[in-house]
Amino acid sequence: MDRHEFGDGGTAAVDEGRTFWACPLCGATTEGMGHDPWPLDLPAGARVCGACDTARVIPARAARQRAREQRRAARYLRKARSELDNTKEVSA
């Protein structure tokens, strides 16, 4: 079994053409491409195992999306209130 360094500082082991590596989040020995950990704060090029993708990466993406939608809704409400205030000033 050969070992070589990943670009992200992790270590992979290659055995008969199969690549095994340690998930940087849980340490599980993992095979294959793994999953993009964005938006979690990991070194560029890092990959995580399927369990961490499900348990940590996907919820982090969902939370990010919710936060973005809440910011958009807040912007919309500010704009609507501002337009309503302007309407009141004109009619007063």
Residues 23 and 30 sit within 8 Å (Cβ to Cβ)? yes
Here the tokens at position 69 are: 């939608």
Q: Does 63 bind Zn ion (CB under 5 A)?
A: no
**Which CB atom, from 27 or from 83, has the smaller least distance to Zn ion?**
27
Give the whole-angstrom CA distance, residue 29 versus residue 7.
18
Task: Report the length, in residues, of the chain.
Answer: 92
**Which CB atom, from 27 or from 67, has the smaller least distance to Zn ion?**
27
Shortest distance (Å) from residue 27 CB to Zn ion: 7
Query: Interface with Zn ion by CB under 5 A: which residues?
Result: 23, 25-26, 28, 49, 52
